[in-house]
A and B are shown apart, each in its own frame.
Chain A
């Protein structure tokens, strides 16, 4: 090549990118100046320099220790992108967890003022720790870009939801707003205002059983992005998205301070959008929107939403042009939203309560993990972890609800089959249902449940085909031990379940070869599908109709195949529950329960579930715990891993007064179902506490509260525990943790009790009136309502309001035994209430008679007899029969489930006995509980 040619090449080289002449062209005429600028860096990256050849791999995008995830084609996973930033799904390589990584465009990042502001906001946002706010966990700058990592939210934005499904139902919209307000309140406490609150900045996670969890994203940082985005910016530096912005955000002179009230306005617009899928003030420019904001609200948009008046009022107050006329704080807004929910949407209120429990659960997860770790360490030695397995909920890969139940049904069948092997420890479904397949770190799951193996799976159903994917994982190493995929006809579902269960059994213990029967419970595919649906409903559906819906499915199954024993057994168990709770008595009659149980038994006497059905029939319908225990024993032989059988046995044994057996069964139940809060509450209240083992009862209640934090019922039980032990201060503290607004009957009754024990009769009357006020007019009172009335009567009596007391007691008698005849069916404890009411009226003979009959009625019931005897003693004391009352006390203090020392020390019921010498002695030296 000649020098001339070279010269020409140089002369032609002006870089189109940097505008300078290309003095040192690269192999393809690249501009080295541009190249070095493009790659220049000051970050410290690890470099391999051991070999002569330089290793360069085409690696994933990395920002600090966050690695952007790529899909199968190697394309990074983008969660969202806007003009100023792109959000990736990334992995925190240190903690090995998924995060959302937002990378801010270079255009913005190169402005040092914007960068400083960004950092400041990210810092502030990182202070907010709240379940309704996606947490900022890292901020960094690299290679001229800045980025931050945020908690990854599995769900969609409100905007996406509305686009997908249209306007949301009022209950859902209110719930979303309530949770968002909670998140804003958390931000407010940290001094952070969102300033760009809108449906695309609020995400919604759906959890099992229709539960929603709302997460506000981009708290604080959103506004830095918005201020830079020219489309949102006026000369004065307007921050936010115009359609959702508050009027003060448009104030060009910046005279008005932007505070939480601005976010409340934006949330108001968002609520409007959720209910109508429209914006109240749409416009193509800021000016247009601004002009419209001063007009009246376009209320006709709300017409289709059929909003109650209260809700419209709420919207109006949130959307007030003058910030001073809006709710002034997030808390105030919360109260208003709350009231709205309470006023006309009790269902929403109930759902919210569950949600809060879930939310708080997240906050406690760490503490729980620590505790679990401790338990695991302790438990690991006791169990062979390799033979302990949890079958996690199977994922349904199709979207319809029926398939969802179907997937759960299959999971449950595999679980049940494994549970039939006594050599294994199989965790019950209640304890695994919160872990969705693939959603959790399996090591943690393994530790929490005390298992070394976890089975995950997915089910896909299409036409008459079904595909089941399963994988067995070692929880200590996360290693896949075995995985398989089954593509079968729907008719072969049972065979697949058996095959999976048998393979897994063999994987867990080589001796367990083909132990699970391959004989199908029915040859009728449609019947089996109906049965699976019933099982799925029982396990996953929320709401009051679970057993009714499940029973309907089982009934359908036995209609299709009258020889389907398993379905008959399940039908009987579901119906026994409905019978016990007096639901649709014509369908769920005693005869119907018996018929189903007997058919199951005659068809398959070797079936564990058939025996379980016999047990529940005898216990719930025949009220015969002794006979029930016999049936449960047979069931247990065939279902060695069943927590449910153990739980039922514990209740039956307790009623028989076999406390030690009851305790053993309940302990076994908790081992197989460690995350079932109900079992722990039961262990505390039904076993430890009646036996006078206060410390153990307290621990068990704490365990239940770890699983269901802030559960009001459990907290009320804990209060009672303290009250009965005479620890009034602790009781008061526990009560104070429960919301003052709680309308839970148990809570209200314990508030009355507390005031009575503290001798504050006015306060006792206040709570008693609340406890007795709520039943809807026209509805008959239940047993708890009557108990509250009795308590109210005594409060009135002790407060000196004798006339009111008389009216209350007469009402009790009228409710329980209208016209002198007991209500049918009789309320639990009817005669006890009558005895107490007559004693309050000083009607000696009637009080004596009812008390005597009550005790006689429960003669063979270890659970209710001491309660009846305690009622009688209290009635005697009130009637002034000191001698007889004191006579009863030593026994009552010793019998399990009788009365406790704190009660006789503080309760006004015993006041007439306080001058008695023997009473004083008992007070000072109470005998221990004997069993």
Chain B
């Protein structure tokens, strides 16, 4: 349970933080508010109740956060003063969330939240796949494949060269590329699926994620 909780927080911390920051709170305040918000969610079992009727988790969380901010101004202050128990270690995601906020400073707070949300979903799916490959002893493969699929600042090397490095043929390298794609596609879909209550919404949500990130 704790582990699941941590994973949940880790995934949705950045968009929530981004939103709060966009509302004009300082970084420190925003950290405290998101912590308080998580605490509030778990105390009231909002999530388990919401699970059945949450619709899209993305809009549900945003709505809840907005409510939390609106109704709990006083409490927010209290949290800030008292220093809430830290549910999640957000040290790792903080720079990313901060960067995300800055990159989307031209957007509205809701759009900012959505972009951060979408990138969190995508990144999470990717991590999942990466870990899976690593668990099967294919860490080296995924590292070599990464520039071809996930971009990054380094220029993708020549396929032939990479294949040689991995001790295989170009054909086989391409096959692995396809395999990675399919696994990742599956993961992304699963990730999105876990945030909607009606499977019919998966495709819509996926399209939204795609649109907002490539806009």
Q: Report Cα–Cα, A81/B174, bound state, in Å.
A: 11
- In the complex, identify which listed stretch (B32-40, B58-66, B74-82, B100-108) lies at the interface while the others stay far away: B100-108
Q: Report Cα–Cα, A78/B171, bound state, in Å.
A: 8
Q: Residues of B contacting A14 with CB < 8 Å?
A: 153
Chain A residues touching B, majority SS: loop
A36 within 8 A of partner (CB): yes
Q: Report Cα–Cα, A43/B151, bound state, in Å.
A: 24
Q: Report Cα–Cα, A248/B180, bound state, in Å.
A: 44
B85 within 8 A of partner (CB): no
B41 within 8 A of partner (CB): no
Q: Residues of A contacting B99 with CB < 8 Å?
A: 6, 9-10, 23-25
Q: Which of B8, B123, B190 contacts A30 (CB 8 A)?
A: B123
Q: Report Cα–Cα, A172/B96, bound state, in Å.
A: 69
Q: Residues of B contacting A58 with CB < 8 Å?
A: 132-133, 136, 138, 179, 183
Query: Are the C-beta atoms of B153 and A12 separated by less than 8 Å?
Result: yes
- In the complex, identify which listed stretch (A46-54, A296-304, A360-368) lies at the interface while the others stay far away: A46-54
A42 within 8 A of partner (CB): yes
B152 within 8 A of partner (CB): yes
Closest A residue by C-beta to B183: A58
Q: Report Cα–Cα, A57/B133, bound state, in Å.
A: 9
B68 within 8 A of partner (CB): no
With both chains docked as a complex, state the minimum distance between the C-beta of A4 and any C-beta of chain B, in angstroms. Answer: 11
Q: Report Cα–Cα, A188/B153, bound state, in Å.
A: 54
Q: Residues of A contacting B87 with CB < 8 Å?
A: none
Q: Report Cα–Cα, A29/B149, bound state, in Å.
A: 12
Q: A7-B102, A32-B213, A39-B188 are in contact. Are A54 and B194 (CB under 8 A)?
A: yes
Q: A22-B151, A54-B194 are in contact. Are A59 and B182 (CB under 8 A)?
A: yes
A931 within 8 A of partner (CB): no
B98 within 8 A of partner (CB): yes
- A1-35 to B contact mask, C-beta < 8 Å, 1/0: 10101110110111111100111111111111111
Q: Report Cα–Cα, A62/B181, bound state, in Å.
A: 11
B189 within 8 A of partner (CB): yes
A440 within 8 A of partner (CB): no
Q: Which of B100, B103, B126, B190 contacts A54 (CB 8 A)?
A: B190
Q: Report Cα–Cα, A41/B210, bound state, in Å.
A: 9
Query: Are the C-beta atoms of A47 and B202 separated by less than 8 Å?
Result: yes
The residues in B between 118 and 140 inclusive whose CB is less than 8 angstroms from any CB of A are: 118-119, 122-123, 125-129, 132-133, 136, 138
A143 within 8 A of partner (CB): yes
Q: Residues of A contacting B184 with CB < 8 Å?
A: 35, 38-39
A236 within 8 A of partner (CB): no
Q: A32-B123, A47-B202 are in contact. Are A41 and B185 (CB under 8 A)?
A: yes
Closest A residue by C-beta to B210: A40
Q: Report Cα–Cα, A777/B203, bound state, in Å.
A: 81
Closest B residue by C-beta to A144: B181
Q: A39-B125, A48-B190 are in contact. Are A16 and B151 (CB under 8 A)?
A: yes
B163 within 8 A of partner (CB): no
Closest B residue by C-beta to A40: B210
Q: Residues of B contacting A64 with CB < 8 Å?
A: none
With both chains docked as a complex, state the minimum distance between the C-beta of A27 and any C-beta of chain B, in angstroms. Answer: 6
A86 within 8 A of partner (CB): yes
Query: Are the C-beta atoms of B186 and A56 separated by less than 8 Å?
Result: yes
Closest B residue by C-beta to A48: B190
Query: Are the C-beta atoms of B178 and A61 separated by less than 8 Å?
Result: yes
Q: Which of B95, B125, B151 contacts A18 (CB 8 A)?
A: B151
Query: Are the C-beta atoms of A45 and B185 separated by less than 8 Å?
Result: yes
Query: Are the C-beta atoms of B193 and A49 separated by less than 8 Å?
Result: yes
Number of A-B contacts (CB under 8 A): 197
With both chains docked as a complex, state the minimum distance between the C-beta of B167 and any C-beta of chain A, in angstroms. Answer: 12
With both chains docked as a complex, state the minimum distance between the C-beta of B157 and any C-beta of chain A, in angstroms. Answer: 10
A821 within 8 A of partner (CB): no
Closest A residue by C-beta to B214: A33
With both chains docked as a complex, state the minimum distance between the C-beta of A19 and any C-beta of chain B, in angstroms. Answer: 9
A774 within 8 A of partner (CB): no
Q: Residues of A contacting B191 with CB < 8 Å?
A: 54
Q: Residues of A contacting B185 with CB < 8 Å?
A: 39-41, 43, 45, 143
A257 within 8 A of partner (CB): no
Closest A residue by C-beta to B135: A58
B150 within 8 A of partner (CB): yes
Closest B residue by C-beta to A34: B151
Q: Which of B118, B133, B174, B181 contacts A38 (CB 8 A)?
A: B181
Query: Are the C-beta atoms of B153 and A32 separated by less than 8 Å?
Result: no
A55 within 8 A of partner (CB): yes
Q: Residues of A contacting B179 with CB < 8 Å?
A: 58, 60-61, 76
Q: Report Cα–Cα, A41/B154, bound state, in Å.
A: 26
Q: Report Cα–Cα, A21/B102, bound state, in Å.
A: 13
Query: Are the C-beta atoms of A26 and B132 separated by less than 8 Å?
Result: no
Q: Report Cα–Cα, A103/B199, bound state, in Å.
A: 29
Query: Are the C-beta atoms of A22 and B152 separated by less than 8 Å?
Result: yes
The residues in A between 397 and 420 inclusive whose CB is less than 8 angstroms from any CB of B are: none
The residues in B between 195 and 215 inclusive whose CB is less than 8 angstroms from any CB of A are: 199, 202-203, 206-207, 209-210, 213-214
The number of chain A residues touching the other chain, given as a range, is 35 or more
Which of A31, A32, A59 has the largest count of B CB atoms less than 10 A from its CB? A32
Q: Which of B129, B152, B214 contacts A37 (CB 8 A)?
A: B214
Q: Residues of A contacting B207 with CB < 8 Å?
A: 42
Query: Are the C-beta atoms of B186 and A32 separated by less than 8 Å?
Result: no
Query: Are the C-beta atoms of A24 and B132 separated by less than 8 Å?
Result: no
Query: Are the C-beta atoms of B153 and A29 separated by less than 8 Å?
Result: yes
Q: Residues of B contacting A62 with CB < 8 Å?
A: 182
Query: Are the C-beta atoms of B146 and A56 separated by less than 8 Å?
Result: no
Q: Report Cα–Cα, A103/B175, bound state, in Å.
A: 11
Query: Are the C-beta atoms of B151 and A24 separated by less than 8 Å?
Result: no
With both chains docked as a complex, state the minimum distance between the C-beta of A10 and any C-beta of chain B, in angstroms. Answer: 5
Query: Are the C-beta atoms of B181 and A28 separated by less than 8 Å?
Result: no
A439 within 8 A of partner (CB): no
Q: Residues of A contacting B151 with CB < 8 Å?
A: 15-18, 22, 30-31, 33-35
Q: Residues of B contacting A40 with CB < 8 Å?
A: 185, 188, 206, 210
The residues in A between 635 and 689 inclusive whose CB is less than 8 angstroms from any CB of B are: none
Q: Report Cα–Cα, A38/B179, bound state, in Å.
A: 12
- A604-625 to B contact mask, C-beta < 8 Å, 1/0: 0000000000000000000000
Q: Residues of B contacting A21 with CB < 8 Å?
A: 103
Q: A22-B152, A26-B123, A35-B126 are in contact. Are A61 and B102 (CB under 8 A)?
A: no
With both chains docked as a complex, state the minimum distance between the C-beta of B181 and any C-beta of chain A, in angstroms. Answer: 6
Closest B residue by C-beta to A44: B203
A75 within 8 A of partner (CB): yes
Q: Residues of A contacting B190 with CB < 8 Å?
A: 47-49, 54-56
Which of B116, B152, B171, B178 has the largest count of A CB atoms less than 10 A from its CB? B152
Q: Which of B153, B174, B194 contacts A49 (CB 8 A)?
A: B194
Q: A10-B99, A30-B151, A33-B214 are in contact. Are A41 and B189 (CB under 8 A)?
A: yes
Query: Are the C-beta atoms of A61 and B187 separated by less than 8 Å?
Result: no
B172 within 8 A of partner (CB): yes
Query: Are the C-beta atoms of A16 and B153 separated by less than 8 Å?
Result: yes
- A874-909 to B contact mask, C-beta < 8 Å, 1/0: 000000000000000000000000000000000000
Q: Residues of A contacting B132 with CB < 8 Å?
A: 56-58
Which of B156, B171, B178 has the largest count of A CB atoms less than 10 A from its CB? B178
B7 within 8 A of partner (CB): yes
Q: Residues of B contacting A49 with CB < 8 Å?
A: 190, 193-194, 199
Q: Given contacts A49-B190, A58-B132, A59-B183, could you give 17 more A-B pairs where the C-beta distance is less than 8 Å? A: A10-B102, A17-B152, A23-B119, A24-B119, A29-B153, A32-B122, A33-B213, A35-B126, A38-B181, A39-B181, A39-B185, A40-B185, A41-B185, A47-B189, A56-B129, A62-B182, A143-B181
A-B contact pairs, 21 of them (CB 8 A): A9-B99, A21-B103, A22-B151, A24-B100, A25-B96, A26-B119, A30-B146, A31-B152, A32-B118, A32-B123, A35-B122, A38-B184, A40-B185, A47-B199, A49-B193, A49-B194, A54-B128, A56-B183, A57-B132, A61-B175, A143-B182
Interface residue ranges, B against A (CB under 8 Å): 4, 7-8, 94-96, 98-100, 102-104, 115-116, 118-119, 122-123, 125-129, 132-133, 136, 138, 146-156, 171-172, 174-175, 178-179, 181-191, 193-194, 199, 202-203, 206-207, 209-210, 213-214
